[in-house]
Amino acid sequence: MIMRILGEGQYEIAEGHLGELNRLDGVLQSAADSGDEAAFSAALHDLLDAVRGFGRPLPDETITPSDAVLPDEDTSLRQVREMLSEEGLVPD
């Protein structure tokens, strides 16, 4: 799966890591639903760190469609709510 972090780049994620990323995405979704800014910021940070840690960065010159587009760390709770689908940010 290819995931893009806005303003940063794309990462190739092995399928074996999708379960953990979906778990972190669920935590983010819950924090966004509750409107808890502190929990939201922590959850977004954890999700992005996991993508960076599990993923292999793709070279900037590689043009590949992304399976998921994630906000950067400065994205507001309101903006992330607009990006969330029923699946969250990370597709199942």
Confidence category of residue 63, pLDDT binned at 50, 70, 90: confident
**Residues β-bridged to residue 9:** 5
The answer to whether residue 26 sits within a structural domain is yes
65-77: pLDDT as tens digits: 999 999 999 998 8
For residue 86, give every residue at least 6 positions away whose Cβ sits within 8 Å of its Cβ, in sequence order, or none: none
Average pLDDT on 65-91 reads 86
The answer to whether residue 92 sits within a structural domain is no
Retrieve residue 18's tokens.
Answer: 């999708």
The answer to whether residue 89 sits within a structural domain is no
Confidence category of residue 86, pLDDT binned at 50, 70, 90: confident
CA-to-CA separations, 51 to 29, 32, 35, 88, in angstroms, rounded? 16, 19, 23, 15
pLDDT at residue 42, as a whole number = 96
The answer to whether residue 75 sits within a structural domain is yes
The answer to whether residue 7 sits within a structural domain is yes
How many domains would you assign to the chain?
1
pTM of the model: 0.90
Which residue segment(s) compose the domain that 53 sits in?
Answer: 2-83
CA-to-CA separations, 83 to 25, 55, 74, 78, in angstroms, rounded? 12, 21, 14, 9
5-62: pLDDT as tens digits: 999 999 999 999 999 999 999 999 999 989 999 999 999 999 999 999 999 999 988 8
For residue 69, give the 3-state DSSP assignment: strand
The answer to whether residue 90 sits within a structural domain is no
Q: Do the beta carbons of residue 66 and residue 3 sit within 8 Å?
A: yes
